[in-house]
Amino acid sequence: MQVLVVEDERRMAELLRQGLEEEGHSVVVAGNGKDGLAIAESHPFDAIVLDVMLPVMDGFTVARKLRAARNQTPILMLTARDATHDVIEGLNIGADDYLVKPFSFDVLLARLRAVSRRGAIPQPVPLQVLDLTLNPASREVMRRGRPISLTRTEYNLLELLMRRAGRVVSRENLIEAVWGFDSDVRSNTLDAFIRLLRDKVDNAEEVKLIHTVRGVGYCLRGEES
C-alpha cells in the first residue's frame, strides 16, 4: 500500500514510517500541511495519515482542499485533539476516520486497513434550504448567490441546523454537537452565536430561515415548510 504520512513531529513521523515500512508498505513523509497537500495532489496514494496540528497549513485545511479538488484518497486523521467538535469537523469535511494520540500502532494499522478497503469516498452532498446553500467539501455558504463568511462555530451551528432542516434541534443537542459533551458552555452563549448567525444569514432577507422554538431550541426552515 502507498501511504502518505503528513506529520510535523519528527519522532512520530519516523516511528510511523518505520512501522509502516516494516509491514511492507511504501511510505512518503511530509513535515507540514503545504508540502503534504502538494504531494497528495501530484502522486496517487492508497491512504493518507494526516495530523491536524501542522505548521504552514493545518490538517483540516489540507483535507478540505483535497476534497474540494475531488481527490478522494482515504484519509485517517491523527491528532492529540479529541474534542467532539474537532472529530465532527474532521469527518464532515471528508476524513474517513479519526485516531487520537496516544494510540496503539496495531490500532493505527487496523484503522488504516479499514479506510483503504473503503476506497475513494463519495463527495459530500451540498445542503440546500430554499435559497441558502452550504457545501461541506469547501465550507462555502451562500444565500441567493451571495457568499456568507462564517466563523468555525457559526458554520458548525448552521451545518447542524441545515442537516436537520424542518426539525427542532434542542439547545442541549446544539451545545453538545458544537462544543462537546463535557463543555461548560451556557445557553446564553448559544443564543449569542445564533444572533450572530441570523445577522449574516437572515438580516438582509425577506424570508427568515432560522426560527426560535421557545423553551426547546432552534429550527431552520423556510416559510413554505
* Per-position DSSP letters for 53-64, written without gaps between them: S-SSS-HHHHHH
Q: Which has the closest alpha carbon to 199: 162, 158, 170, 161?
A: 158
The correct CATH number of 127-220 out of 1.20.58.100, 3.40.50.1820, 1.10.10.10, 1.10.3210.10 is 1.10.10.10
Query: Mind listing the pLDDT tens digit for each residue in 165-188?
Result: 999 999 888 887 777 655 677 788
Q: For 21-148, list the strands marked E by DSSP.
A: 26-30, 47-51, 75-79, 97-100, 127-129, 132-135, 140-143, 146-148
The ranges of the chain annotated as CATH 1.10.10.10 are: 127-220
Q: Which has the closest alpha carbon to 93: 38, 143, 155?
A: 155
Q: What is the pLDDT of residue 126?
A: 86
Q: What is the pLDDT of residue 181?
A: 57
Q: What is the pLDDT of residue 88?
A: 73
Neighbours of 225 (CB within 10 A): 12
Separation of CA 116 from chain center:
19
What CATH code would you report for 2-118? Answer: 3.40.50.2300
This prediction has a pTM of 0.55
Q: Which residue has the cell 457545501?
A: 135
Q: What is the pLDDT of residue 69?
A: 85
Helix (H, G, I), strand (E, B) or coil at 213: strand
- The per-residue pLDDT string of the chain (225 residues; one tens digit each, 9 = 90 and over) reads 889 999 999 999 999 999 999 888 999 999 999 999 999 988 889 999 999 989 999 999 999 999 888 888 999 998 876 666 667 777 778 888 888 887 888 889 998 888 887 665 455 678 999 999 998 878 899 999 999 999 988 998 998 899 889 999 998 888 877 776 556 777 889 999 999 999 999 988 989 999 999 989 999 998 644
The ranges of the chain annotated as CATH 3.40.50.2300 are: 2-118
